Homo-oligomer: A and B are copies of this chain.
Amino acid sequence: METLQYILDIDPNAREKVFKKGHVLQREGDINVSAFYVKKGLLRSYIIDSKGKEHIFIFAPEGWIIADVESIEFNKPVELFIDCLEDSEVVIFDKDCFFQTSLSKEAVHKNTQLLYKRLGVLQRRVLMLMSAPAIDRYTYFLKTYPELPNRIPQHMIATYLGITPQALSTIRKKMATVP
């Protein structure tokens, strides 16, 4: 089942919108929590810490769903910013629609599959952050998201990896000289 069809299926209020690069769909402190399906373009979610530094949680290219699950699940105010890294077509839908009781079997299956996949990705991310040095995390990133480096600036890759742009630059230099 195609993800977009599934979303339109389960949320009759889902609406499609087009946003310009740079548009912020959700900011820290918001209370009206939605989830976003990326039909076209590229979104990201990130926090800004107490020192004003950005930390990117995930990138969401075409076909991905992006949302602040923690705030949805634990009813906290939104902590993640979500914005567009490219002009994007986005389907906005309600956080609660996953919990509808009237879903088709197919929709349930799709939903479970999506959640599972995301869990698997996050598991890997935690393990990498805990156990692998920055260079390995970068290599894994390149392997897993080969198309992204052409679409986003390097300093964003750095804040996704949990290091500074300077550190990433040094790593890249090292990789170029000793391949």
| A interface, CB within 8 angstroms of B | 47, 49, 53, 55, 57, 68-70, 72-74, 79, 98-99, 101, 103, 105, 108-109, 111-113, 115-127, 129-132, 162
Contacts and interface: CB of A to CB of B under 8 A. Distances in A.
Contacts of A130: 55, 129, 162
How many copies of this chain? 2
B126 A73 contact: no
A69 B116 CA distance: 7
A51 B156 CA distance: 30
Given A55-B130, A55-B131, A115 B115 contact: yes
Contacts of A125: 126
Interface centre among A73, A101, A111 (most CB of B within 10 A): A73
